[in-house]
Amino acid sequence: MPSYKSILIAVDLSDESEKIIEHSLQLYPNLQSQVHLIHTTEHPITGYGELTGKNHCATENQIRQKIYPKLKKLSEKYGIPCKNLHIKFGSPADTIHQFAEQIEADLIVSGSHGKHGLQLILGSTAYSIVHGAQCDVLSVRI
């Protein structure tokens, strides 16, 4: 089995996220310090904020404040360091690929499907993550 140095787990914060993390840690035990969690969300559309930039930032912060406790709960449960929790704005697969390169991840883990269910297999985030990745991808069967 390959030994990975930096593992990026993509979580959509659905109930399946725990299963994906558990599965990863069972395969690669004691690697919590090398595991990163990423949740992506689309940029907020904020009317006037689009012009001024100000409302836009405020809304991004509000979104971060809402998402962070959910990531923190996962990190506490599985012993993943807080510094390895990441909230990024943009389309999921592209953002995950860019961030994986930034942290030099050698493995990306995602669920075989998530919030969007089994429909749209070819247009799914799961599919896009596999097909644009520059490193190994583990797709955990949900």
User: Where along the sequence are the contacts to ligand AMP (CB under 6 A)?
Assistant: 10-12, 16, 20, 38-40, 92, 110-111, 113-116, 124-126
**Residue in the shown chain whose Cβ atom is closest to ligand AMP:** 111
User: CA nearest 10: which of 114, 82, 116?
Assistant: 114
Distance CA 16, CA 11 (A): 8
Q: Which residues pair with 8 in a beta bridge?
A: 36, 108
Phi, psi of 85 (to 5 degrees): -100, 130
Minimum distance of ligand AMP from residue 48's CB (angstroms): 26
**Identity of the residue, 42 or 54, whose beta carbon is nearer to ligand AMP in the bound complex:** 42
Minimum distance of ligand AMP from residue 51's CB (angstroms): 27
Chain-centre distance of CA 56, in angstroms? 22
**Identity of the residue, 39 or 97, whose beta carbon is nearer to ligand AMP in the bound complex:** 39
Q: Where are the beta strands (DSSP E) in 12-130?
A: 35-41, 85-89, 107-111
Minimum distance of ligand AMP from residue 13's CB (angstroms): 8
Asked if 107 and 135 touch (Cβ cutoff 8 Å), the reply is: yes
**Identity of the residue, 3 or 119, whose beta carbon is nearer to ligand AMP in the bound complex:** 119
Minimum distance of ligand AMP from residue 9's CB (angstroms): 7
**Identity of the residue, 40 or 53, whose beta carbon is nearer to ligand AMP in the bound complex:** 40
